[in-house]
Amino acid sequence: MKLLEFEAKDIFRAFNLPTPLGNVAKTPEEAKTRAREIGKPVAVKAQVFAGKRGKAGGIKFANTPDEAGNAAREILAMRINDLPVEAVLVEEKLDIQQEIYLGITVDRTERKYVVIGSSAGGMSIEELAVRSPEKIVKMYVDPLLGFQTYEAREMAIAMGFRGKMLNTLTSMILSLWSVADSYDAELTEINPLILTKEGRLLAADARLNVDDSALYRHKKLTDGLRREPVEQNAREKLAAEHDMAYVELDGDIACICNGAGLTMATLDAVALHGGKASTFLDLGGGADAERVKKGIEIALMYPKVKAVLVNIMGGITRCDEVAKGIVAAREEKGLSIPTVIRMVGTNEEQGQEILSKAGIPFLKTMEEAAERVVQLTKEVS
């Protein structure tokens, strides 16, 4: 369960993590009122489940209440990453001396929480890891002992802080750990944590994702934040309605498979041959022709898709049904971009015969299929 920035900040403040003065607004008039209450220049920030909102124009600065109202009007009319903006956060504009990164997530390889800090905040931790890996400080949390005060202090020292600011940052790291521990967080982060020219440390942004499997322990939170899943775009909602696992990525090859493990392996095979997946789409077990057709239709809705790779391991899923769905997608939905099929398993020969009659080629190994779809994608690029 993802929380919006203002929701996460409400929790942060309860754990003694200071945030800028501000409040949420859902109309331009409310934004003007919030700015008037603050009484100084403000930042007007889109509240939406999407990253890089600043680059998308979702953060604007205003010197007067009227400017704040106009900024809110523009932002509330936007869609960021195909998601509507339904509220803005109006906060005091900060006089920044330094941007810092603090975050806590789960390292699934180590099977532990990991606390991450850097004196160079303001960019995503992934970008920072590429540009300046030496500036990242990591510390794993012992699952039995939890995160200790001396560890937080060592981390703050490694980030370059001394004196009074060392003690302040140590306390904030411990408070962020308390948030993660108390709310079963998959991820919580402050990026950026701002050191102002007046010497204040403030969480200028806030992110908190709660593990869905632990929501039964947080009834007060889920009841208080009951809402429609606006964090999903139209394609994600459609896939969810049909019980398909669907994730959008940055590449241009849609991978449609049956089973999460096979889908992940297919993404890896595409990457191994120099391609990048645009879509993780798991049809699930027992997919019939209609479900296959619908899966392809959803994948084709994503503008980044330049080619489709269908990789099916037939068990309870029958290859002849898959083949019928592929043929129907081509005939009814205009499947005209390069498409590579690999099917093995139940009714494999019947499925291949259906594809052959329709003039649709197929391959027998995942490696061949991945190599072929990457080649075709490069040809149409």
pLDDT higher than 80, residue 33: yes
pLDDT higher than 80, residue 123: no
**Domain count for the chain:** 3
User: Considering only 20-29, 174-183, 314-323, which range has the smallest mean pLDDT?
Assistant: 314-323
pLDDT higher than 70, residue 294: yes
Q: Are residues 203 and 310 in the same domain?
A: no
Q: Are residues 155 and 210 in the same domain?
A: yes
The pLDDT assigned to 232 comes to: 66
Q: Are residues 88 and 100 in the same domain?
A: no
Q: Would you call 179 exposed, middle or buried from its count of C-beta atoms within 10 A (0-12, 13-18, 19+)? A: buried
Q: Are residues 151 and 249 in the same domain?
A: no
Q: Is residue 148 part of a domain?
A: yes
The pLDDT assigned to 11 comes to: 96
Q: Which of 199, 224, 249 is a domain's end point?
A: 224
Banded model confidence at residue 256, pLDDT cuts 50, 70, 90: very high
Q: Is residue 10 part of a domain?
A: no
Q: Is residue 272 part of a domain?
A: yes
For 236-245, what is the mean pLDDT? 88
For 203-219, what is the mean pLDDT? 93
Greater confidence (215 vs 29) lies with: 29
Q: What percent of the chain has pLDDT over 90?
A: 76
For 165-193, what is the mean pLDDT? 96
Greater confidence (288 vs 121) lies with: 288
Q: Is residue 2 part of a domain?
A: no
How far apart CA 99 and CA 203 sit, in angstroms, is 10
φ, ψ (nearest 5 deg) of residue 224 = -70, -25
Banded model confidence at residue 359, pLDDT cuts 50, 70, 90: confident
**β strands within 144-231, DSSP E:** 185-196, 201-203, 207-210
Tokens standing for 233?
């775009």
The pLDDT assigned to 228 comes to: 52
Instruction: Name the active-site residue from 5, 186, 189, 248.
Output: 189
The pLDDT assigned to 310 comes to: 95
The pLDDT assigned to 80 comes to: 87
Q: Is residue 75 part of a domain?
A: yes
Which residue do the tokens 């072929």 mark?
372
Instruction: Name the active-site residue from 67, 91, 99, 101.
Output: 101
Q: What is the pLDDT of residues 125-165, one digit of tens each?
A: 888 888 888 889 999 999 999 999 999 999 999 999 999 99
pLDDT higher than 60, residue 360: yes
The pLDDT assigned to 379 comes to: 87
Q: Are residues 156 and 266 in the same domain?
A: no
Q: Are residues 241 and 371 in the same domain?
A: yes
Is 302 a catalytic site residue?
no
Q: Are residues 207 and 244 in the same domain?
A: no
The pLDDT assigned to 178 comes to: 97
Q: Is residue 345 part of a domain?
A: yes
The pLDDT assigned to 128 comes to: 80
The pLDDT assigned to 16 comes to: 95
Q: Are residues 169 and 215 in the same domain?
A: yes
Task: Give the domain CATH number at 50.
Answer: 3.30.1490.20
Q: What is the pLDDT of residues 62-121, one digit of tens each?
A: 999 999 999 999 999 998 877 889 999 999 999 999 999 999 999 989 999 999 999 988
Q: Are residues 189 and 307 in the same domain?
A: no
Q: Are residues 75 and 142 in the same domain?
A: no
Greater confidence (243 vs 91) lies with: 91
**Triad 191, 60, 87: Cα angle to 5°:** 80
Banded model confidence at residue 51, pLDDT cuts 50, 70, 90: confident
**What is the tally of helices (H) and strands (E) in the chain?**
13, 17
Q: Are residues 38 and 62 in the same domain?
A: yes
Q: Which of 42, 61, 92 is a domain's end point?
A: 92
Q: Are residues 78 and 205 in the same domain?
A: no
How far apart CA 222 and CA 216 sit, in angstroms, is 9
The pLDDT assigned to 231 comes to: 58
The pLDDT assigned to 222 comes to: 82
Is 101 a catalytic site residue?
yes
- CA 316 to chain CA centroid, Å, is 32
For 316-336, what is the mean pLDDT? 89
For 262-290, what is the mean pLDDT? 93
Q: Look over the chain and give the mean of its residue pLDDT values, rounded to a whole number.
A: 92
**Residue 331's domain spans which residues?**
234-380
Task: Give the domain CATH number at 259.
Answer: 3.40.50.261
Q: Is residue 16 part of a domain?
A: no
